[in-house]
Amino acid sequence: MKGVHFLVAFVFLALAASFAFASDPSPLQDFCVAINDTKDAVFLNGKFCKDPKLAEAKDFFFSGLDIARNTSNPIGSVITPANVAQIPGLNTLGISMARVDYAPNGGVNPPHTHPRATEILIVLEGTLYAGFVTSNPDNRLITKILNPGDVFVFPVGLIAFQLNVGKTKAVAIAAFSSQNPGVIPIANAVFGSTPPIRSDVLAKAFQVDKNIVDHLQKQFWNNNY
């Protein structure tokens, strides 16, 4: 009987553990280079992959994270991603990167979430005010001033941001625990959705006049990703 109880407990813990891990699943082969043309593909891990024998160095390569981007936009920042869309060899490997350029005097990577990944960010140039907000019921703001060489972690799914508080440009490199972390810019999602969220819903949620919501929904919501 004890053996049965042990088996039931083991199965329960195994199932609980399977739900506890929110990162990309582990691959069942060395790599799975993503491919759109299925003619020369094999089906592994639920995805079409290039035949491993046809894999090339270019499938695992990306050039451009050393290039400064133009931050002349309303929010003063630009993201250069290096995820599975740019590097097909990242498929199933559960990791990706991005470069973030911030304009001087207030360039901001506005409040956003990455629904599928934890982010770790290192500052290369400039000074950033970075932070995230914990979930309900605390909604606690955790922030830090970051200088070159400093590293900060943004837990998966939480609202996060970075602001350039220096007088010169800032640059950071971010790494993610997913090949495709996804991004939800809060302002874009709430006020710039297609079709738009009903203004009376937002007016009630934010406790503001409906005219304010109508005004915000008419703005151009910049997407720096």
- 112: annotated binding-site residue? yes
Instruction: Show the tokens assigned to 148.
Output: 């070159």
| Residue among 182, 172, 132 at smallest CA distance from 155 | 132
CA geometry: angle at 87 spanning 84 and 89, to 5°?
85
Q: Establish whether 5 is an annotated binding residue.
A: no
Amino acid at 196: P
Residue 147 among known ligand-binding residues: no
What gap in Å lies between CA 133 and CA 154, rounded to an integer? 9
The residues pairing with 122 across neighbouring beta strands, listed in sequence order, are: 151, 173
Total number of residues shown for the chain: 225
Q: Is 114 known as a binding-site position? A: yes
Task: Tell me 38's DSSP state.
Answer: G
Binding-site residue positions for oxalate? 109, 114, 119
Binding-site residue positions for Mn(2+)? 112, 114, 119
Binding-site residue positions? 109, 112, 114, 119
